[in-house]
């Protein structure tokens, strides 16, 4: 083999680069799985089944945002005898009241930063705002 | 029909993964066993190919010289295109690898009436290649968010830039790199169909990786935006982090589109070391780029040379055959010594 001095370090760098996630995670430590807190009020029903919500909630929220803000359609949904106005604070956060314990747990794990909070206030923020005014 | 064959091959891969992943118990094959096997073949094959290349001797000093070579002091040397020093070679290689300079010089030749041939600069290939490769790189890097726990800041920032470049379209956010990859692949494929010179020399193994990468991009985007049934990113990440921490688990049902995507990526990894895709490693190993044009300063010794065969100069040659040369009337540099008996 010729030019061992450059080719072997080159290959080692290549392998280190490809296997980056293995040694970054420290070989066998998978870290903690997120545990989103269920509604503190004990509600069991959501607007859709849990499986659907887990996979599609972002699309549902986006649709609601478009309905309400772009089309002016503020129709109130009635599901299982319960009324849900279309809105993050008006519907979702009524039951899932603590953003830090519910939304953030999975979003941090999956490194997702939804821009909901560019406009919306979490219930906690809303309280502190009220206090200052 | 060469592209039809490649297309059908990719379609077959999709079908295998789609049908296979629905058989109970086969999730471990498609989600764990095949990806592990694929990454091992990829790494092993890549190292094997590079070592094979490294074992091949370079008999001649063959750097391509694309500019003025080093000459007299008042003649300006083109240091990038005709490097003589290692530092200049490194600069040339760096630009070749990161900016595809040799594609930048791509020209298009056309035959006109007359007959007259024209050459003109053609940079579309260069632009599409940059778009394609850099999009692919960004996509590969941002997939790391599914393998790393916790996700480092810089990775989140890359994700933010990639989706931010598209001004928050849709939910989940559309990535600029997804469109870049699709656009790049579409151009590289279209070029092989439209440009008849290139179509003539295109083979099934040129089309196959294009279809495969296109299918990987499309399945990835379908999974992210449309076929979201049973695509719970948390359980997917749990599986992927499990893969890189050597303790994979599949606890819940994951949609078939995920297994199709993973199977196609595994196919790409397996195919990579044994195909033209090895240009990724080959660009570092190509002697026309990584040698310095210094053959007038340093003698390039052919490694094939038998060390027992000594150099034979002209003077030595003449010494061996002078008598016969003189006899045959050939000019010699040194005459025969005067004969003694004639004195």
Helix/strand/coil for B135: helix
- Mean pLDDT over each residue of chain B, to the nearest integer: 91
- Mean pLDDT over each residue of chain A, to the nearest integer: 85
Q: How far is B46 from chain A (nearest CA, A)?
A: 9
- Whether residue A33 and residue B147 make contact (CB cut-off 8 A), yes or no, is no
Give the residue-averaged pLDDT of A56-77.
Answer: 89
The reported pLDDT for the residue numbered B335 is 83
Could you tell me which chain A residue has the CA closest to the CA of B243? A22
- Whether residue B172 and residue A58 make contact (CB cut-off 8 A), yes or no, is yes
Interface contact B232, partner A, CB < 8 A: yes
Tens of pLDDT, residue by residue over B262-308, are 999 999 999 999 999 999 999 999 999 999 999 888 888 888 888 89
Residue B343 has pLDDT above 70, yes or no: no
- pTM of this prediction? 0.88
Could you tell me which chain B residue has the CA closest to the CA of A64? B171
- Choose the closest CB to B55 out of A1, A21, A26: A1
CB distance B148 to B136 below 8 Å: no
Chain A contacts to B (CB-CB under 8 A): 1-4, 7, 10-11, 14-15, 18-22, 24-31, 33-34, 51, 54-56, 58-59, 61-62, 106, 108-115
- Whether residue B43 and residue A110 make contact (CB cut-off 8 A), yes or no, is no
Give the residue-averaged pLDDT of A71-87.
Answer: 86
The reported pLDDT for the residue numbered B341 is 65
The reported pLDDT for the residue numbered A133 is 65
Q: Which of A123, A124, A104 is nearest to A114 (CA)?
A: A104
Could you tell me which chain B residue has the CA closest to the CA of A3? B54
The reported pLDDT for the residue numbered B330 is 92
Residue reference for tokens 């096997």:
B37
Tens of pLDDT, residue by residue over B106-127, are 888 888 898 999 998 889 999 9
The Cβ of residue B283 has, within 10 Å, a number of other Cβ atoms equal to 15
Give me the phi and psi of B116, to 5 degrees please. -135, 135
Q: Before B313, cis peptide (omega within 30)?
A: no
Distance separating alpha carbons of residues A87 and B101, to the nearest angstrom:
53
pLDDT band at B131 (very low <50, low <70, confident <90, very high): very high
Q: How far is B152 from chain A (nearest CA, A)?
A: 9
The reported pLDDT for the residue numbered A46 is 86
pLDDT band at B342 (very low <50, low <70, confident <90, very high): low
Percentage above 90 pLDDT, chain B: 66
Q: How far is A82 from chain B (nearest CA, A)?
A: 25
Tens of pLDDT, residue by residue over A102-127, are 888 899 889 888 888 888 887 777 77
CB distance B94 to B103 below 8 Å: no
Q: Which residues of A touch B58 (CB under 8 A)?
A: 2
Distance separating alpha carbons of residues A60 and A50, to the nearest angstrom:
13
Distance separating alpha carbons of residues B75 and B196, to the nearest angstrom:
42
HSE-CB of A93 using CA atoms within 13 angstroms? 19
Interface contact B80, partner A, CB < 8 A: no
Tens of pLDDT, residue by residue over B150-207, are 889 999 999 999 988 778 888 889 999 999 999 999 999 999 999 888 899 999 999 9
The reported pLDDT for the residue numbered B192 is 92
The reported pLDDT for the residue numbered A28 is 64
Q: Which of A21, A35, A53 to mutate to test the interface with B (most CBs of B within 10 A)?
A: A21
HSE-CB of B89 using CA atoms within 13 angstroms? 16
Q: Which of A14, A49, A111 to mutate to test the interface with B (most CBs of B within 10 A)?
A: A111
Distances in Å between the alpha carbon of B281 and those of A19, B52, B123? 17, 12, 24
HSE-CB of B342 using CA atoms within 13 angstroms? 3
Q: How far is B328 from chain A (nearest CA, A)?
A: 47
Residue B340 has pLDDT above 80, yes or no: no
Distance separating alpha carbons of residues A47 and B193, to the nearest angstrom:
50
ipTM over 0.85: yes
The reported pLDDT for the residue numbered B8 is 93
Give the residue-averaged pLDDT of A52-58.
Answer: 89
The reported pLDDT for the residue numbered B336 is 82
Tens of pLDDT, residue by residue over B231-252, are 888 899 989 998 998 888 888 8
Interface contact B238, partner A, CB < 8 A: yes
What domains sit in chain B, N to C, each tagged with a CATH number? 2-65+140-301 (1.20.950.20), 312-343 (no CATH)
């Amino acid at each position: 083999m010729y030019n061992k001095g450059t080719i072997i370090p080159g290959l080692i760098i290549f392998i280190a680069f490809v296997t980056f996630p293995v040694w970054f995670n420290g070989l066998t430590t998978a870290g903690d799985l997120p545990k989103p807190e269920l509604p503190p009020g004990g509600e069991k029903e959501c607007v859709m089944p849990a499986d659907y919500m887990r996979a599609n909630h972002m699309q549902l929220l986006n649709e609601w945002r478009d309905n309400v803000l772009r089309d002016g359609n503020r129709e109130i949904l009635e599901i299982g005898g319960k009324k849900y106005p279309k809105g993050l604070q008006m519907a979702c956060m009524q039951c899932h009241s603590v953003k830090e314990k519910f939304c953030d747990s999975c979003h941090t794990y999956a490194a997702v930063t939804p821009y909901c909070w560019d406009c919306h206030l979490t219930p906690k923020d809303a309280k502190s705002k009220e206090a200052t005014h | 029909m060469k592209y039809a064959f490649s297309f059908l091959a990719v379609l077959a891969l999709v079908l295998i993964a789609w049908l296979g992943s629905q058989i109970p118990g086969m999730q471990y094959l498609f989600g764990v066993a095949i990806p592990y096997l694929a990454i091992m073949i990829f790494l092993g094959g890549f190292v094997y190919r590079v070592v094979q290349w490294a074992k091949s001797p370079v008999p001649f000093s063959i750097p391509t010289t694309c500019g003025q070579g080093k000459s007299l002091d008042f003649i300006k040397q083109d240091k990038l295109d005709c490097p003589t020093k290692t530092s200049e070679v490194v600069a040339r290689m760096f630009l070749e690898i990161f900016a595809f300079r040799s594609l930048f010089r791509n020209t298009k030749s056309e035959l006109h009436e007359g007959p007259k041939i024209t050459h003109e600069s053609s940079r579309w290939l260069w632009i599409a290649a940059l778009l394609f490769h850099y999009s692919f790189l960004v996509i590969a890097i941002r997939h790391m968010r599914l393998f790393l726990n916790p996700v480092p800041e810089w990775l989140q920032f890359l994700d933010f830039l990639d989706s931010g470049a598209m001004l928050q379209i849709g939910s989940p956010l559309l990535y600029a790199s997804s469109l870049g990859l699709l656009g790049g692949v579409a151009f590289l494929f279209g070029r092989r169909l439209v440009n008849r010179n290139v179509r003539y020399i295109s083979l099934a193994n040129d089309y196959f990786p294009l279809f495969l990468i296109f299918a990987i991009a499309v399945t990835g985007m379908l999974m992210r935006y449309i076929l979201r049934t049973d695509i719970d990113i948390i359980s997917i990440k749990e599986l992927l982090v499990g893969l890189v921490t050597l303790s994979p688990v599949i606890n819940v049902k994951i949609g078939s589109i995920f297994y199709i995507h993973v199977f196609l990526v595994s196919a790409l990894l397996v195919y990579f070391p044994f195909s033209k895709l090895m240009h990724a490693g080959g660009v570092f190993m190509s002697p026309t780029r990584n040698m310095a044009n210094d053959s007038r300063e340093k003698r390039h010794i052919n490694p094939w040379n038998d060390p027992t065969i000594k150099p034979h100069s002209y003077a030595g040659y003449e010494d061996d055959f002078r008598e016969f040369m003189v006899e045959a009337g050939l000019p010699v540099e040194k005459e025969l010594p005067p004969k003694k008996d004639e004195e």
